[in-house]
Amino acid sequence: MKIGFSIAIIPLLLLCSCNDERKLTTSSREALAAYTEGVELLDKFYYAEAKSALERAIALDSTFAMASARLAILYQRSGNDAAASREIAEAVRKSAHATQREQLFIRMFNHDIHFRNTLAAAVADSLIMLYPKEAEVYVLRGKYYELSKRYDQALALYEKAMTMDTSYAPAVMSLGYAYSAQGQVEKAIEAMERYIRLAPDAADPRASFADILMRFGRYDEAFEQYSKSLELKPDYWYSINRLGDIYALRGQLNQADKQYDLGMTKMVMNDQTRATHLATEGMLNLQRGKYDEALRLGEQSLALDSTNFRAFFVQTMACIKLKKFSDAKEMLETIRSEIARRNLSESQFMLEFLVLRARFFNAQGQFEEALAACDSAMEYGSELTRASVYQEIAEIKLQQGDTDGSLDALEEALRYNPNYPQALLTLTKVYKATGDRQMTNEIGNRLLTLWKNADSDFQPLVELNTLIGKQHARASLPS
């Protein structure tokens, strides 16, 4: 459980660190209490409640710089970049009379919100040097190491944060995600189980544990953990949406749509949130084979938020499927520009962009260019996320008629997640191509079990039925 502090023993204007420097500058005990509540809610990812608490803190003390800074971070996490920029500007303006510690935090947040990641990391280093006992700073600095795929350094900082404050749950959560990115299954699970023990009544530890289970293909267990998360907090937006992801993975697209609609009502609403919802509907329509509708939804999404990565993906994939390759090329160039604008050129976003680029080339039979894009993508992935690159390589090799090369790539794609649906479908195609009926049916049946309740227009199931024969598919469905 995250440990708060007793309001009764807080001096009116400050909290004291080990060197007696003020930690928070406010003239209102009530504002301080609201701020504290807001930060704790933000740490739990309860964004709507955190927003209310932080706005209350600012209403009680309009000069409270750190309250504005935390509200800016909340807006950023909610996808509202314009509001985040506006609120961090307020925090900077108010910080003239704040402490050095507060000014450094605000400067770091300001750099982060404006995508100046290198400068933000440098300020985090200064905070660590000046305030070495603050657990939060180690976690914030670790995130910048993760952006550049320096997981060992990130892990070391998360461990350090835990030594500074054994009850600081975000450090344990971050540790679990970083271990999973490296493919260290047991350590990731152990960290998330500890996260649950630290905050047994909070929704996110169960959801984060479910995320790890999802990453390693344990979908039924993940569904159970997201459901337990919602027992603790029925309106937890993240778990609601993640259940939608599992329904989509199972091919239950209509159920997924309902789940995303419900999740939408529990989120902090803004144009970016609405844009992401439209783009998510577009992704479901890609799975239905309704490419014109997906294109339309992507356009609507980008009309609300011209920088929405999910909408970029939907637009590009729809154009590829519709063979509008000039439009797809233009969209890929837009994505690359947006990645550069956000200083994410060394991040996981580059891997996703390059895999999309490989699909663009593969769809046109430009196999060498597609493989070159995959080779470049490897540089930007972790042990876990390279699975999508190997999956794409397997598809390209299959198109080239190189079934052995495809099988080699699929072995890597399935290394950490043996239930990776896309890879299993490609594996079924490979065995079909080699004339191995037994393995075609064996792998196909695994997918039929996963997709036993899938909607009839779920395109991967339609493709699978074609591969193994519709009569066989019907006979194989569990009763």
Q: What is the 3-state secondary structure (H, E, C) of 215-248?
A: HCCCHHHHHHHHHHHHHHCCCCHHHHHHHHHHHH
Tokens representing 329 are 């090329």
Q: Would you say residue 395 has pLDDT above 60? A: yes
Helix (H) or strand (E) holding 375: helix 367-378
| 7-132 CATH pick, 3.40.50.150, 1.25.40.10, 1.10.3720.10, 1.20.1600.10 | 1.25.40.10
User: The pTM is what?
Assistant: 0.91
Q: Tell me: the pLDDT tens digits for 212-265?
A: 999 999 999 999 999 999 999 999 999 999 999 999 999 999 999 999 999 999
Taking the CA atoms of residue 21, residue 87, residue 269 and residue 284 in that order, the dihedral angle to the nearest 10 degrees is -90
* Neighbour count for residue 329 (Cβ, 10 Å): 15
- The share of the chain scoring above pLDDT 70, in percent, equals 93
Mean pLDDT for the chain?
A: 92
Integer distance in angstroms from the first to the last C-alpha of the chain? 43
Q: What phi, psi does 174 have (nearest 5°)?
A: -60, -40
- Assess contact for 443 and 424: CB atoms under 8 A: yes
Q: How many CA atoms lie within 13 A of 424 on its CB side?
A: 21
SS3 content of the chain, % helix, strand, coil (to 5): 75, 0, 25
Structure-token match 């390759």, residue found: 325
Candidates 432, 370, 428; CA nearest to 396 is 370
61-74 tens-digit pLDDT:
999 999 999 999 99
CA 288 from chain centre, in angstroms, equals 23
In the structure encoding, which two tokens stand for residue 148, read together? Answer: 């550049």
Residue-wise pLDDT tens digits, 168-225 = 999 999 999 999 999 999 999 999 999 999 999 999 999 999 999 999 999 999 999 9
pLDDT in tens, 453-475: 999 999 999 999 999 986 444 44
Dihedral in degrees, nearest 10, Cα atoms 310, 312, 313, 318: 130
Contacting residues for 375 by C-beta, under 8 A, at least 6 apart: none
* Crossing angle of the two packed helices 237-249 and 253-264, in degrees rounded to 10: 170
47-66 CB burial, b ≥16 within 10 A, e <16: bebbbebbbbbbebbebbbb
Which residues are registered as beta bridge partners of 16? 22
Residues 6+ apart with CB under 8 A from 98: 25, 65, 66, 106
**In whole angstroms, how far apart are CA 420 and each of 165, 189, 220, 284, 393?**
37, 19, 13, 18, 15
Q: Classify residue 415 by its DSSP letter.
A: S
Task: Give the list of residues 6+ apart from residue 75 with CB closer than 8 angstroms, or none.
Answer: 81, 83, 84, 87
Q: Which amino acid is at 39?
A: V
DSSP line for 429-468: HHHHHHT-HHHHHHHHHHHHHHTTT--TT-HHHHHHHHHH
Residue in the block written with tokens 């350090």: 160
Q: What is the pLDDT confidence band of residue 346, given thresholds at 50, 70 and 90?
A: confident
